[in-house]
């Protein structure tokens, strides 16, 4: 499963991208607003840092303006995936952009029916928001399982991009189900490294090695 970073913070992207474990980045207007930077400049810098897809979201709500914004965002770099909401106008924009060979990430998906429409519109990625469903007492990961099954039934090429990830278990569950991508905040990536037994084992190894008085170098 691919791992995308869900952030617009340049320093976090640079640090984690250097590990070679990051496959792309997702952003949205809220994340860029938090960074306090210009949207186009931020997207351009991020897309130049990472080799994989960088999702950049339109802010318009009607089809014509969405399409114009989508084409402007796509022109920033070849690895831009234009992000559109799962609305009638968003799906119309998705179809038009996809027909032009532009990657599209359809976001704010909360049902299997919505995901089916996105696939038929030619979306490269569908972004179901599992954390927000879990907050309402709904089965966010059940949605992922349903979408994975539907896409497999009809061999849709749309990739399931698990969004609104709140912790490591969400990532593990998504991988077990067979999702293509999970987009996660930097804090979740850092948490994935951690296990108390790893820390305890390393402490013991280092203590034993220190007692030998040896050095590998």
Please tell me the predicted confidence (pLDDT) of residue 34: 85
Task: Identify whether 200 is a catalytic site residue.
Answer: no
For residue 50, what pLDDT is reported?
96
In contact, 84 and 28? CB cutoff 8 Å: no
pLDDT at 85: 98
Q: Residue 88 to residues 29, 62, 114, 164: CA-CA distances in angstroms?
A: 20, 9, 10, 22
**What percentage of the chain reaches a pLDDT higher than 90?**
95
pLDDT for 128 equals 98
- Region 8-26: mean pLDDT is 96
User: What is the average pLDDT value for the chain, to the nearest integer?
Assistant: 96
Q: Which residues pair with 55 in a beta bridge?
A: 26, 81
Band (pLDDT 50/70/90 cuts) for residue 7 is: very high
At residue 36, the pLDDT reads: 86
Of residues 83, 95, 194, 211, which has the active-site annotation?
Answer: 83
> What are the chain's domains?
2-212 (3.20.20.70)
pLDDT digits (tens, 9 = 90+) for 123-170: 999 999 999 999 999 999 999 999 999 999 999 999 999 999 999 999
Q: Is the pLDDT of residue 181 over 90?
A: yes
Indicate whether 35 pLDDT > 90. no
Give the other-Cβ count within 10 Å of 212's Cβ. 7
Q: What local confidence, expressed as pLDDT, does residue 184 receive? A: 98
Mean pLDDT of 187-210: 96
pLDDT of residue 44 exceeding 90: yes
Looking at residue 159, its pLDDT comes to 98
Q: What does the pLDDT look like over 51-110, one tens digit per residue?
A: 999 999 999 999 999 999 999 999 999 999 999 999 999 999 999 999 999 999 999 999
The residues with which 83 forms a beta bridge, in sequence order, are 57, 105
């Amino acid at each position: 499963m691919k791992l995308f970073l869900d952030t617009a913070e340049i320093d976090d992207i640079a640090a984690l991208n250097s590990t070679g474990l990051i496959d792309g980045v997702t952003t949205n207007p809220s994340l860029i607003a938090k960074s306090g930077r210009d949207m186009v400049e931020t997207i351009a810098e991020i897309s130049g840092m990472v080799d994989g897809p960088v999702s950049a979201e339109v802010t318009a709500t009607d089809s014509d303006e969405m399409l114009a914004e989508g084409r402007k965002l796509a022109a920033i770099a070849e690895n831009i995936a234009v992000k559109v909401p799962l609305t009638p106008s968003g799906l119309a924009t998705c179809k038009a952009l996809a027909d032009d060979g532009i990657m599209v990430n359809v976001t704010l998906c909360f049902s299997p029916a919505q995901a089916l429409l996105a696939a038929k519109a030619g979306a490269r990625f569908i972004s179901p928001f599992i954390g927000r469903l879990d907050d309402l007492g709904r089965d966010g990961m059940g949605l992922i399982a349903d979408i994975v099954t539907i896409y497999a039934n009809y061999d849709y090429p749309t990739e399931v991009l698990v969004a609104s990830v709140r912790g490591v278990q969400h990532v593990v569950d998504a991988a077990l189900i067979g999702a293509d991508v999970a987009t996660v905040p930097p804090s979740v990536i850092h948490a994935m490294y951690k296990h108390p037994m790893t820390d305890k084992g390393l402490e013991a190894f280092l203590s034993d090695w220190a007692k030998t008085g040896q050095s590998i170098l």
